[in-house]
């Protein structure tokens, strides 16, 4: 798809309105990241209040962006003005869904002896960076923070470079965010893997479904259509991982994404650490951690020569917060996050990214079967409902669906995330910021 040039920005023609019906306030919205974000929000269907202290520029930007943009003066150091910006959004549009707290200043720069620069009406951004924000569909309000500079008079020259950079960014804000990409997804016959394969194909990718569930894998490939191909792949066997990569290259000519998703919980029967079965530990580590390294190794073999690609991993909140799962599982998922950092650090210079998606409480068929072993008196639906009720009691929103994780994976695999590397995207409804999941033992 050829991009359309609009007011110096490159846009992909959009047939999707990911923020349709949303109302946002963006501070520092008259230039730099704030302006770029307001532009993206409006293009994706949002109404935006541009809150800034640069009145002439702010009014000009609002006029440029059209009827869905409105400017209001807002010095973020004055709480009353922040409150007024929120009040304006609610008064004008009936509600507020997103508050992007973007305004900021650099303060005293390292090595400077002169006083910090004054806030000026000639605002610039340090380096304009593209942001495409997916709001939480179940949240009443999403607050997005930014630590970037807001404005400094002596940064004016930098703004010229920044505005020049903006033409390099394009958004894939349509239904083909992965058009032309080729992916291998392990554990793709069910759960998060299947949901991801479906999302990838729906966004234009060709996908190799790699799994050990042959009948189910072939059925899923048939269900997903000609963009899907099944291959048997035991991720604990490096040769089979290599073969999945080779199949992608042989069939489609390249490999753009390797999503290392296959994993096991291991035994979840309550047991003290002193009686940990190290043979079971080794099995879990082989599937969850060692296989992640094998995935990165063979993905790199295909991606580094092309200086392009993305390696994704399914992590877990158990790798972020201790005590939220079986010991072996938690250790293995913490190791996955180590793999992400190591791979990102080495492969960034070769144009290859590595990121993880860490979900919480996803009721996939395989994981639920294992959980039921610890709760033999409960049915699948009873346990799923109990988990969902517990999440609701924590005000964390409904139980996370595989599709929620899959959409995060699509974003990280897309060119929209081309500057995101070495990151762990937690998809947990806020669980890791202090909420505890309580599942009845009976």
**What pLDDT digit, counting tens, does each position of 321-332 carry?**
888 788 999 999
Q: What is the DSSP string of 183-242?
A: EEEETTTSHHHHHHHHHHHHTT-EEEEEES-HHHHHHHHHHH-TTEEEEE--TTSHHHHH
Mean of pLDDT values over 58-68: 94
Same fold: 4-168 with 182-433:
yes
Give residue 383's pLDDT.
74
Q: What is the DSSP string of 305-374?
A: GGT-EEEEEE--GGGTSTTSS-HHHHHHHHHHHHHHHHHHHHHGGGTEEEEEEEESS---HHHHHHHHHH
pTM: 0.75
The residues facing 309 across adjacent strands are 352
Give residue 163's pLDDT.
37
Residue 22 and residue 113 in contact, taking contact as beta carbons nearer than 8 Å? no
Out of 1.10.287.70, 3.40.50.1240, 3.50.50.60, 3.40.50.720, the CATH code matching 4-168 is: 3.40.50.720
pLDDT tens sequence across 43-59: 999 999 999 999 999 99
Catalytic residue among 11, 150, 329, 419: 329
pLDDT tens sequence across 89-147: 999 999 999 999 999 988 766 665 555 444 433 333 333 333 333 333 333 455 555 44
pLDDT band at 285 (very low <50, low <70, confident <90, very high): very high
Is 375 designated active site? no
Give residue 391's pLDDT.
64
Q: What are phi and psi of 357, to 5 degrees?
A: -120, 120
Distance in angstroms (rounded) separating the CA atoms of residues 283 and 236: 9
Using a 10 angstrom Cβ sphere, with 0-12 exposed, 13-18 middle and 19 or more buried, the burial of residue 243 is middle
Give residue 143's pLDDT.
56
pLDDT tens sequence across 143-194: 555 444 333 333 333 333 333 333 333 333 447 899 999 999 999 999 999 9
Residue 152 and residue 106 in contact, taking contact as beta carbons nearer than 8 Å? yes
Give residue 374's pLDDT.
67
Q: Is the pLDDT of residue 201 over 80?
A: yes
What residue spans define the domains of the chain?
4-168, 182-433
pLDDT tens sequence across 15-46: 468 899 999 999 999 999 999 999 999 999 99
Give residue 267's pLDDT.
82
Q: Which CATH architecture has domain 182-433?
A: 3-Layer(aba) Sandwich (3.40)
Task: Give the CA-trace dihedral at 70, 73, 76, 81, to 10 degrees.
Answer: -100
């Amino acid at each position: 798809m050829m991009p359309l040039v609009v007011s110096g920005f490159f846009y992909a023609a959009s047939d999707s309105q990911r923020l349709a019906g949303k109302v946002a306030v963006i501070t520092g919205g008259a230039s730099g990241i704030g302006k770029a974000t307001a532009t993206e929000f409006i293009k994706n269907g949002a109404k935006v209040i541009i809150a800034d202290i640069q009145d002439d520029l702010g009014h000009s930007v609002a006029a440029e962006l059209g009827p869905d943009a409105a400017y209001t003066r807002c010095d973020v150091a004055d709480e009353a003005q922040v409150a007024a910006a929120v009040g304006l959004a609610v008064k004008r549009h009936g509600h507020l869904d997103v508050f992007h707290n973007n305004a900021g200043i650099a303060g005293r720069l390292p090595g400077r002896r002169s006083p910090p620069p004054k806030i000026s009406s000639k605002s610039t951004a340090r380096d304009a960076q593209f942001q495409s924000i997916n709001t939480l569909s179940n949240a009443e309000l999403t607050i997005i923070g930014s630590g970037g500079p807001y404005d400094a008079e002596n940064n004016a020259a930098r703004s010229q470079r920044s505005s020049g950079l903006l033409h390099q960014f394009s958004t894939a804000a349509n239904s083909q965010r992965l058009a032309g990409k080729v992916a291998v997804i392990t554990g793709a016959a069910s759960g998060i893997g299947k949901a991801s394969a479906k999302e990838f194909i729906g966004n234009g990718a060709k996908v190799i479904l790699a799994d050990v569930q042959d009948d189910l894998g072939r059925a899923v490939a048939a269900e997903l259509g000609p963009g899907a191909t099944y291959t048997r792949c035991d991720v604990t066997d490096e040769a089979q991982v290599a073969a999945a990569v080779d199949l992608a290259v042989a069939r489609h000519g390249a490999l753009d994404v390797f999503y290392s998703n296959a994993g096991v919980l291991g035994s979840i029967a309550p047991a003290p650490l002193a009686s940990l079965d190290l043979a079971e530990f080794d099995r879990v580590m082989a599937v969850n951690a060692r296989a992640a390294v094998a995935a990165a190794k063979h993905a790199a073999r295909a991606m580094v020569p092309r200086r392009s690609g993305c390696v994704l991993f399914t992590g877990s909140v158990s790798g972020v917060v201790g005590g939220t799962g079986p010991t072996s599982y938690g250790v293995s998922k913490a190791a996955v996050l180590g793999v992400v950092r190591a791979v990102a650090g080495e492969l960034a210079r070769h144009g290859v990214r590595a990121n993880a998606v860490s979900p919480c409480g996803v009721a996939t068929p395989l994981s639920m079967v294992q959980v039921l072993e610890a709760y033999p008196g409960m049915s699948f639906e009873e346990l799923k409902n109990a988990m969902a009720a517990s999440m609701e009691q924590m005000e964390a929103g409904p139980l996370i669906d595989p599709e929620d994780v899959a959409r995060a994976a699509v974003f990280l695999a897309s060119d929209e995330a081309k500057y995101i590397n070495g990151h762990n995207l937690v998809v947990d409804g806020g669980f890791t910021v202090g909420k505890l999941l309580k599942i009845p033992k009976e």
